[in-house]
Amino acid sequence: MNTLTETLPLVEVRDVRHIYGKSSGSGLLVLDDVDLTLGENEIVGLLGRSGSGKSTLLRSIAGLIQPTSGQVNFPRADTRVSMVFQTFALFPWLTVLQNVEVGLEAQGVAAEERRQRALKAIDLIGLDGFESAYPKELSGGMRQRVGLARALVVDPDILLMDEPFSALDVLTAETLRTDLLDLWSEGRMPIKSILIVTHNIEEAVLMCDRILVFSSNPGRVVSEIRVTLPQPRNRQDPAFQALVD
Ligand code: ADP
Ligand code: MG
């Protein structure tokens, strides 16, 4: 990649507005004039109350919904975006391996390559040995690992995470979060940046380089907090340990 590309943001959200139920007349304005920029090599947090429109914004960036107005731009060519959902969104009738392969099927990747790439993602995320298990046989933390493997298998540039730990108990959430940060700081995940939605301030401070504070009614980015933690954010780093302990 040349230096010109590196200076381009990965995502630019400009003046995004979203109204639900517009056709019924009395629509609900959920997002109003939302602006944000996601650069390379950063973890950005979106911190806001329940119902403030965070999921709506993430779905707009993922292309799952079309905002009522405004733009979501990807200034670099061929930017791939993956999303991890709060309640995992796995297919219960598919095995772990099949759930992870789903993302590649949509891209038309051949069966054998799909299998190899899925196995690699499963191994990376710590689910080696559970390829043939079904979601109902797994704990919540393991199910979210499947969700992560499925997101990573397509080699995304951007990982969007919608409250990925909030359905998990505190200890499971902590383990998954630190495992994810280790993969990130060791450069073992093939992603350029992460946008993570949370309503947990501590989680945002521990994970993010920048935190965008989101207002409610309507949702809008109202301030930004820069987090200055030791870099790289490695668990072994004494300064990081002091913060976590
Ligand atoms: P958050 O993720 O911050 O909790 P959401 O984006 O899920 O917020 O929702 C914002 C608001 O939009 C809420 O009032 C919610 O009830 C409403 N909403 C979300 N999805 C829909 C939908 N598909 N149709 C109508 N209203 C919706
Ligand atoms: Mg939400």
What residues flank ion ligand 2 with Cβ within 5 A?
55
Asked whether the predicted pLDDT for residue 236 surpasses 70, the reply is: no
Give the residue, 202 or 14, on which the prediction is more confident: 14
Identify residue 78 by its one-letter amino acid code. D
pLDDT band of residue 22 (cuts 50, 70, 90) is confident
DSSP letter at 219?
Answer: B
Give the residue, 238 or 202, on which the prediction is more confident: 202
Asked whether the predicted pLDDT for residue 3 surpasses 80, the reply is: no
What spacing in Å lies between the alpha carbon of 96 and ligand 2's midpoint? 25
Q: Are 43 and 209 in contact (CB under 8 A)?
A: yes
State the Rg of the chain over Cα.
18
Specify the pTM: 0.91
Ligand closest to Cα of 163 equals: 2
- Amino acid 237: pLDDT: 59
What spacing in Å lies between the alpha carbon of 103 and ligand 1's midpoint? 25
* pLDDT digits 0-9 by tens, 64-116: 999 999 999 999 989 999 999 998 899 999 999 999 999 898 888 999 999 99
Residue 217 beta carbon below 6 angstroms from any ligand 1 atom: no
Asked whether the predicted pLDDT for residue 10 surpasses 60, the reply is: yes
Closest C-alpha among 39, 43, 7 to residue 209: 43
User: Both tokens of residue 144?
Assistant: 């979210």
